[in-house]
Amino acid sequence: MNVEPERKFGVVVVGVGKAGSVRIRDLRDPHASSAYLNLIGFVSRRELQSIDEVQQISLEDALSSQEVEVAYICSESSSHEGYVRQFLNAGKHVLVEYPMTLSRAAAQELWELAEQKGKILHEEHVELLMEEFAFLKKEVVGKDLLKGSLLFTAGPLEEERFGFPAFSSISRLTWLVSLFGELSLVSATLEERKEDQYMKMTVCLETENKRPLTWTEEKGPGLKRNRYLSFHFKSGSLENVPNVGINKNIFLKDQNIFVQKLLGQFSEKELAAEKKRILHCLGLAEEIQKHCRPEK
């Protein structure tokens, strides 16, 4: 990939929060995959004019410009679906930060639209590119799970902007599904104290072999970002992940995967398996939401 590519895809980044800023940095640095991409500008609701010499452009211009062939959607989760739809309709390839949508049906629809338009639709899952996940994947291989639990704690997150907790935290669900296969929902509860910005979601899942997995998501002021896990196998237990090193350039690794897709280097089989997993996780998240909020 060190040869200067014959063709570069023009890219626009939509949303310049934490993820968007990292995307802009990666696009501007001389990486192997960035050589195939040409950053044209960014779209933001705020009036920023430019960031590090990268120009702000209007959404209308981004959609209509022939130069823009790719959109990175890095805005708040609640706006992902709308942006993805607009850019696919405008004939652009799309990379979107997870969750792609806040319902399974919407994701299915967007994928059909992407296929219709002959475009790549890629949902970022940097949690699968982390050192901890690589360690876990190696650890659980060939082992017979008896039961497991995963607890994640963090500061508060606004549901209006980021979606119901099962969606905003879908990366945890993705870990469990990627490690243990498709899961089914047994029960889900949500304890909330809005005035304290506190919430705790407890989800009981089971594997296809009927092994129980508990996923707990707890968020509130003063709670540190932490992950606690415990998996019990017939052959022994795994309690938490040892310090396996720093996650370097996970967004860049995700961009590399996206560029491989743009260049047609992924097999249909790989793409289909990934899509199946993403839709399965979105479907579970939606089911969890219905259990916790039956009125909606």
Instruction: Check 171, 211, 217, 286 and give the catalytic one.
Output: 171
Q: Is 171 a catalytic residue?
A: yes
The answer to whether 32 is annotated as binding is no
Q: Angle 110-111-114 (CA atoms, 0-180°, nearest 5)?
A: 90
The answer to whether 204 is annotated as binding is no
Instruction: Check 98, 211, 217, 286 and give the catalytic one.
Output: 98
Instruction: Check 69, 97, 123, 217 and give the catalytic one.
Output: 97
Q: Name 257's Cβ contacts closer than 8 Å, sequence gap at least 6.
A: 122
The answer to whether 83 is annotated as binding is no
The answer to whether 7 is annotated as binding is no
Q: Is 104 a catalytic residue?
A: no
Q: Angle 138-143-148 (CA atoms, 0-180°, nearest 5)?
A: 90
Using CA atoms, how far apart are residues 205 and 290, in angstroms rounded to an integer?
15
The answer to whether 93 is annotated as binding is no
Using CA atoms, how far apart are residues 161 and 168, in angstroms rounded to an integer?
9
The answer to whether 21 is annotated as binding is no
The answer to whether 292 is annotated as binding is yes
Q: Taking a C-beta distance cutoff of 8 angstroms, is the pair 177, 206 a contact?
A: no
The answer to whether 18 is annotated as binding is yes
Q: Is 103 a catalytic residue?
A: no
Q: Taking a C-beta distance cutoff of 8 angstroms, is the pair 80, 100 a contact?
A: yes
Amino acid identity for residue 195 in this structure? E
The answer to whether 79 is annotated as binding is yes
Instruction: Check 69, 81, 123, 127 and give the catalytic one.
Output: 127
Instruction: Check 23, 104, 172, 211 and give the catalytic one.
Output: 172
Instruction: Check 81, 123, 124, 286 and give the catalytic one.
Output: 124
The answer to whether 46 is annotated as binding is yes
The answer to whether 19 is annotated as binding is yes
The answer to whether 281 is annotated as binding is yes
Taking the CA atoms of residue 273, residue 116, residue 77 and residue 254 in that order, the dihedral angle to the nearest 10 degrees is: 50
Q: Is 97 a catalytic residue?
A: yes
The answer to whether 222 is annotated as binding is no
Task: State the Rg of the chain over Cα.
Answer: 20
Q: How many residues does the chain have?
A: 296
Q: Name 57's Cβ contacts closer than 8 Å, sequence gap at least 6.
A: 12, 40, 41, 42, 43, 65
Q: Is 169 a catalytic residue?
A: no
Binding-site residues from annotation for Zn(2+) = 280-281, 292
Which residues participate in catalysis according to the annotation? Answer: 97-98, 124, 127, 171-172
Binding-site residues from annotation = 16-19, 44-46, 77-80, 98, 280-281, 292
Binding-site residues from annotation for NADP(+) = 16-19, 44-46, 77-80, 98
